[in-house]
Amino acid sequence: MVKLVDLNGKWAAAIGQSFVAFGSIEHLTVTCLQEIPKDRIQRSVRSFKLGQRIDLIHELLEAHPGHAFEQLAAKLSRAKELLVTRNLIAHNPLVLGILHSDGGFTHREAIVSLRGGNRRIELRELQAFAAECEQLASELHGCTEAAVKALRGGSASA
């Protein structure tokens, strides 16, 4: 079905771009849960969803004052906000809608929520989302590195 709607591959490219970035974000939450707690908790949190891991990391970061930890928490908060759109993309189809008005027929491609249909994302929005996800993943790498360095005895104000 996607091939009929996504003839030039732009949708697939933007979806792939955003999912590769979120894969990196997912990996960083696992890294945080390996490095931040004093006790080993990986087996206990292995089945947590991304939002749950972010919530737990926020709680763990509360015990660590400093700019590096505040920056990490802020970037993780943004990742959690973007998770709503990521889930819309992951769990709903790309559709071709044909609209009729007095001026004739037009068509629009969009990913549309199967639960009510009022949430939708069009290509430009998806492309902007993918770019933001990539930027956020890059920033999270730097924040995670700074926080881990601070935990290991470096400065938390980096």
C-alpha dist (Å) from residue 54 to 2, 13, 129: 32, 27, 19
Q: What is the 3-state secondary structure (H, E, C) of 44-95?
A: HHCCCCHHHHHHHHHHHHCCCCCHHHHHHHHHHHHHHHHHHHHHHHHHCCEE
Q: Output the six-digit token pair for 63.
A: 């015990």
Using the 8-state DSSP alphabet, how is residue 106 labeled? Answer: E
| Residue-level pLDDT, tens digit, the chain, 158 residues | 445 667 788 999 999 999 999 999 999 999 999 999 888 887 788 899 999 999 999 999 999 999 999 999 999 999 999 999 999 999 988 877 655 566 666 667 788 887 776 788 889 999 999 999 999 999 999 999 999 999 988 665 54
pTM for this model (two decimals): 0.83
Domain parsing of the chain, residue ranges: 8-90+122-151
Q: Could you tell me which residues come within 8 angstroms of residue 55 by beta carbon, excluding any fewer than 6 positions away? A: 80
Which long-range contacts does 6-11 make (Cβ < 8 Å, 24+ apart)? 6/94, 6/109, 10/123, 10/127, 11/94, 11/109, 11/123, 11/126
Q: Are strands 104-112 and 94-101 parallel, antiparallel or unpaired?
A: antiparallel
